[in-house]
Amino acid sequence: MATARQTMIAVLAAGPRTASSLARELGFDRGRIEDELRHAIRSARAAGHTVVVEPARCKACGFTFDEARLTKPGKCPSCRGSRLFEALVRIE
């Protein structure tokens, strides 16, 4: 039986996902998803996959968050706006 992490890697290989859509799809709670996703990225990279993280970004001013920020940030540190694109992760 596939582990949750293997399932997550398979889902990411099928197309880009945000942390919250993964949480919904795989039934993780929002508190755990960032950790689980980070581990899945690490195991996928260790297995030789190319993992692409498109970082979270502010819709208003274009500020780009750190790649390590996998869940949706609350506010933009640059313009204080709260309309943000969540980071997208995919495995190629």
Q: Which residues bind Zn ion (CB under 5 A)?
A: 58, 60-61, 63, 76, 78-79, 81
Q: In terms of CB distance, is 33 or 84 closer to Zn ion?
A: 84
Residue 81 CB, shortest distance to Zn ion, in Å, is 4
CA dist 6 to 18, 39, 56, Å?
Answer: 17, 11, 24
Residue 65 CB, shortest distance to Zn ion, in Å, is 10
Q: In terms of CB distance, is 42 or 75 closer to Zn ion?
A: 75
57 contacts 65 by C-beta, under 8 angstroms: yes
